[in-house]
Chain A
């Protein structure tokens, strides 16, 4: 008589039943997916259309409806790895600081003399040459007065500016703490803005994640190509209003210090030389929408926040009659002449827009500009047909693998082989059940992991059966004893063998990316479930069989 406590039997069967129930929705992937999509939009909208109701009816609500996510390589879609150029933000900060510093130094002019900004290669640095080196102490003090404390989680009040001197050059740098802070904020903003833009495009389940210090991973299933995705998120939509210095017909080779030469967006061959530091920028916008100007042409109307409104109001009041440029992503949309003081902080941008372009620009402007440009380090597009081919191939491979391993197991171990095959089937079901439950993603290498698991999962059974054979040969006193010893003695080998594989899966998970991570997840889940089915489920089946048949001799 083999013993298997009742509570353990119940727990084992419950676990199996739960796992299999969770796996079932994957057999009806299309219906369940439609059901889930409909359920989601119904919940948002509060009512169901006829179509949605039909989709809802395809799958009963009381059934589990979790599905294994399909990775990009199976579903098709685009993958981008972007690097955010945080130095852009440093540079903007230093450019913004220069007028303030210049004013501060003017106050101590009697000690430092005249000042001049020097060019520098370092983005987070401002170098100022002063005429009178003896006044450096005063200059440093004036610069330090501009610094404020960085508020960090650790609460250590570090200054945001490091001020040093080198001969007659005053060097102001963003401190390390401030740069870390800026990085954090920049990435966070970029993530949010990308999310908004991808969401407006209405694709399903995009993945937008920060990776490492300054990278963002974007995966969007179902989108046509990486180029399309790039167009959607890659546009910085950086809007600035800059004072115009002069207008020309070719690029200005000598724009002068603090000025840059920018091409016009609509007028061929027209270049504007503008002051590099903007009066106001898109960050100060609170709202933008597609609109029409007084002549009925498409335009974008916008509203500044309080700070932007004040800066814009002051500037227009002081510069009536002068032109200013509206610059979008390095191109001048238009350069109207200021007719009068513009208070209230609202305005309208006219250019050669179509209605669509105006609306798109408005969306980009209100979502906010990306705080920094992004460079794309990795782009992948996988067509949906290729994904479907891979799924089909994976399905065939899985069936062939399972079939041939089953035949081999039954030929080798007879009835016990059948038990192992039952355990293998349950194992496959459990893998899908657990993956659906935790919302894991199945990738192409993941399918390979699944196939590999089929081959390796029976290993535990083989170990146990061979051990039972050994015990019979070594004269175990009866069948029950041989089975018991076989299971017990094989355990340490099973554990050691599987823990080592689990270690490998762990390393793969932490160091791998995308598809490989999917492989690691499938492999790890496969290891855990295969140990469970080999030890618990097989043992339970063998116990039932033994207790019913009571064999005198055991043939494994």
Chain B
């Protein structure tokens, strides 16, 4: 037998329910903590959701946030926040900041004159050769709609996935899978709340991607569960579940690792513009892998399956196998 790198032994027989009160309880607690953090600390919404303007500055002069703030103090603008941006891709003398100007109420996107003023003031005070590689303004009207669209898209995706799972499996699987997904998404949002990482439209895209990835993982376990339920009709549900998770463990870990490697590469090398996005997906993949092993099936076990019903759906598991690949 040739040597192989293995994440899990060939045959495992872990009892994934043994520490159920720790794992599932822990998940519940984390979810609650995430929601609390979200409610109490709030998210650091970007201009997509709050309206306002961001200006990216680039200069060869090292950044002193205080000096930037002083320079902009005199301008008649809304709340200003200045953050320095770091990235391994930057050259040594490349100093980047993001300046965010809050939207004045009811005002439209900040006027070009205001932006020009900011640029002039900074050039005068900090560095005459300063450049402004990106300037983005979103009016409050649009940002309000974007919030709604984002929430809607998360709901629509969840419901669509639930319906698909219900069609292909049993409804209990759909509920289990979607609750596990919400768990992943909520905890990821919690991390963004606790660390006050900028939350904008791309993060919502990342959350949706997490939905897609995590369901992937859960489906593989459920697919095996469905198969085993037929094979071992007399075995208690809990044991069939354990068997299925053990059988798919090698694949679950392997796919999680390949995805984490890819997303990790993006997190480190993909540039600062995408960092939040990559981070959200990275976290989502971690939580998603965990939840497909420890959360989704537990929910199905709680709800219970009517296994006599299985006879009716016996045709499903091999449905695709007849397609000539």
CB nearest neighbor in B for A515: B202
> Which B residues lie within 8 Å of A520 (CB)?
205
Do the beta carbons of B157 and A507 come within 8 Å of each other? yes
Shortest C-beta distance, B185 to chain A (Å), equals 12
Do the beta carbons of B223 and A230 come within 8 Å of each other? no
A interface, over-half SS: helix
Do the beta carbons of A470 and B247 come within 8 Å of each other? yes
> Which B residues lie within 8 Å of A507 (CB)?
153, 156-157, 160, 208
Do the beta carbons of A227 and B116 come within 8 Å of each other? yes
A194 is an interface residue with CB less than 8 A from chain B? no
Known contacts A414-B4, A444-B274; A380 and B258 CB within 8 A of each other: no
Do the beta carbons of B321 and A489 come within 8 Å of each other? yes
B152 is an interface residue with CB less than 8 A from chain A? yes
Do the beta carbons of B157 and A448 come within 8 Å of each other? no
Shortest C-beta distance, B300 to chain A (Å), equals 15
Of the candidates A226, A444, A454, A555, the one whose C-beta lies within 8 Å of that of B262 is A454
Do the beta carbons of A382 and B133 come within 8 Å of each other? yes
Shortest C-beta distance, A446 to chain B (Å), equals 11
Do the beta carbons of B205 and A516 come within 8 Å of each other? yes
> Which B residues lie within 8 Å of A379 (CB)?
109, 135-137
B142 is an interface residue with CB less than 8 A from chain A? yes
> Which B residues lie within 8 Å of A445 (CB)?
202, 205, 274, 277
Known contacts A383-B134, A492-B318; A448 and B270 CB within 8 A of each other: yes
> Which B residues lie within 8 Å of A469 (CB)?
10, 250
Do the beta carbons of B208 and A508 come within 8 Å of each other? yes
Do the beta carbons of A444 and B273 come within 8 Å of each other? yes
Of the candidates A394, A396, A408, A500, the one whose C-beta lies within 8 Å of that of B261 is A408
A318 is an interface residue with CB less than 8 A from chain B? no
Within 8 A of A (CB), among B113-132: 115-116, 131-132
Q: How far is the CA of A493 from the CA of B169 in the complex (A)?
A: 12
> Which B residues lie within 8 Å of A459 (CB)?
216, 251, 255, 258-259
Of the candidates A449, A500, A508, the one whose C-beta lies within 8 Å of that of B215 is A500
Within 8 A of B (CB), among A367-391: 375-383, 385-386, 389-390
In this complex, the interface size class of chain B, counting residues with CB under 8 Å from chain A, is 35 or more
Q: How far is the CA of A428 from the CA of B146 in the complex (A)?
A: 32
Residues 422-453 of chain A: 1 if any B CB is under 8 Å from the residue's CB, otherwise 0? 00000000000000000000001101110110
Q: How far is the CA of A168 from the CA of B323 in the complex (A)?
A: 76
A512 is an interface residue with CB less than 8 A from chain B? yes
> Which A residues lie within 8 Å of B302 (CB)?
none
A409 is an interface residue with CB less than 8 A from chain B? yes
Shortest C-beta distance, A459 to chain B (Å), equals 4
B interface, over-half SS: helix
Q: How far is the CA of A82 from the CA of B261 in the complex (A)?
A: 41
Q: How far is the CA of A184 from the CA of B216 in the complex (A)?
A: 44
Q: How far is the CA of A83 from the CA of B56 in the complex (A)?
A: 26
> Which A residues lie within 8 Å of B5 (CB)?
408, 411-412
Do the beta carbons of B265 and A400 come within 8 Å of each other? yes
Do the beta carbons of B265 and A451 come within 8 Å of each other? yes
> Which A residues lie within 8 Å of B212 (CB)?
500-501, 503-505, 523
Interface centre among B152, B274, B318 (most CB of A within 10 A): B274
B201 is an interface residue with CB less than 8 A from chain A? yes
Residues 202-220 of chain B: 1 if any A CB is under 8 Å from the residue's CB, otherwise 0? 1011001101110111011
Known contacts A401-B265, A456-B216, A459-B258; A226 and B135 CB within 8 A of each other: yes
> Which B residues lie within 8 Å of A98 (CB)?
none
Using a Cβ–Cβ cut-off of 8 Å, how many residues does chain A contribute to the interface with B?
86
Q: How far is the CA of A385 from the CA of B133 in the complex (A)?
A: 7
> Which A residues lie within 8 Å of B131 (CB)?
383, 385
> Which B residues lie within 8 Å of A401 (CB)?
261-263, 265-266
A495 is an interface residue with CB less than 8 A from chain B? yes
> Which A residues lie within 8 Å of B319 (CB)?
492
Q: How far is the CA of A143 from the CA of B323 in the complex (A)?
A: 70
> Which A residues lie within 8 Å of B220 (CB)?
463, 493, 497
Do the beta carbons of B208 and A377 come within 8 Å of each other? no
Within 8 A of B (CB), among A485-537: 487-489, 491-493, 495-501, 503-508, 511-513, 515-516, 519-520, 523, 535-536
> Which A residues lie within 8 Å of B254 (CB)?
412, 462, 466
Of the candidates A227, A398, A447, A487, the one whose C-beta lies within 8 Å of that of B325 is A487
Q: How far is the CA of A414 from the CA of B2 in the complex (A)?
A: 8
> Which B residues lie within 8 Å of A392 (CB)?
89
Do the beta carbons of A504 and B157 come within 8 Å of each other? yes
Known contacts A493-B223, A496-B168; A555 and B257 CB within 8 A of each other: no
Residues 347-382 of chain A: 1 if any B CB is under 8 Å from the residue's CB, otherwise 0? 000000000000000000000000000011111111
Of the candidates B139, B219, B323, the one whose C-beta lies within 8 Å of that of A491 is B323
Of the candidates B133, B134, B153, the one whose C-beta lies within 8 Å of that of A512 is B153
B161 is an interface residue with CB less than 8 A from chain A? yes
Do the beta carbons of B259 and A512 come within 8 Å of each other? no
A81 is an interface residue with CB less than 8 A from chain B? yes
CB nearest neighbor in B for A394: B270
Q: How far is the CA of A506 from the CA of B260 in the complex (A)?
A: 24
> Which B residues lie within 8 Å of A390 (CB)?
271, 273-274
B26 is an interface residue with CB less than 8 A from chain A? no
Q: How far is the CA of A462 from the CA of B8 in the complex (A)?
A: 13
A225 is an interface residue with CB less than 8 A from chain B? yes
Q: How far is the CA of A379 from the CA of B248 in the complex (A)?
A: 48
A413 is an interface residue with CB less than 8 A from chain B? yes
> Which B residues lie within 8 Å of A466 (CB)?
248, 250-251, 254
B74 is an interface residue with CB less than 8 A from chain A? no
Q: How far is the CA of A411 from the CA of B254 in the complex (A)?
A: 11
Shortest C-beta distance, A539 to chain B (Å), equals 7
Q: How far is the CA of A515 from the CA of B146 in the complex (A)?
A: 14
Residues 16-46 of chain A: 1 if any B CB is under 8 Å from the residue's CB, otherwise 0? 0000000000000000000000000000000
Residues 166-184 of chain B: 1 if any A CB is under 8 Å from the residue's CB, otherwise 0? 0010000000000000000
Q: How far is the CA of A499 from the CA of B323 in the complex (A)?
A: 15
Known contacts A227-B116, A493-B223, A535-B325; A393 and B271 CB within 8 A of each other: yes
B317 is an interface residue with CB less than 8 A from chain A? yes
CB nearest neighbor in B for A555: B2
CB nearest neighbor in B for A534: B325
B99 is an interface residue with CB less than 8 A from chain A? no
Do the beta carbons of B263 and A492 come within 8 Å of each other? no
Q: How far is the CA of A383 from the CA of B319 in the complex (A)?
A: 51
Known contacts A382-B134, A508-B153, A508-B208; A493 and B278 CB within 8 A of each other: no
Do the beta carbons of B213 and A492 come within 8 Å of each other? no
> Which B residues lie within 8 Å of A548 (CB)?
none
> Which A residues lie within 8 Å of B81 (CB)?
none
Do the beta carbons of B271 and A381 come within 8 Å of each other? no
A455 is an interface residue with CB less than 8 A from chain B? yes
> Which B residues lie within 8 Å of A519 (CB)?
205, 209
Shortest C-beta distance, B277 to chain A (Å), equals 6
Q: Besides A380-B137, A397-B269, A503-B160, 10 other CB < 8 A contacts?
A: A81-B142, A376-B109, A377-B141, A383-B132, A390-B271, A412-B4, A445-B274, A448-B278, A473-B10, A513-B201
**6 smallest A-B Cβ distances: which pairs?**
A455-B262, A393-B271, A504-B212, A227-B112, A455-B259, A386-B133
User: Residues of A with Cβ closer than 8 Å to B?
Assistant: 8, 73, 81, 83, 225-227, 230, 375-383, 385-386, 389-390, 392-394, 396-398, 400-401, 404-405, 408-409, 411-414, 444-445, 447-449, 451-452, 454-456, 458-459, 462-463, 466, 469-470, 473, 487-489, 491-493, 495-501, 503-508, 511-513, 515-516, 519-520, 523, 535-536, 539, 555
A-B contact pairs, 30 of them (CB 8 A): A230-B112, A378-B137, A378-B139, A378-B142, A379-B136, A380-B135, A380-B137, A397-B265, A400-B268, A401-B261, A401-B262, A405-B261, A408-B261, A444-B273, A451-B266, A456-B216, A459-B251, A459-B255, A459-B259, A470-B247, A492-B317, A496-B222, A497-B217, A500-B161, A500-B165, A501-B216, A504-B212, A504-B215, A506-B160, A508-B205
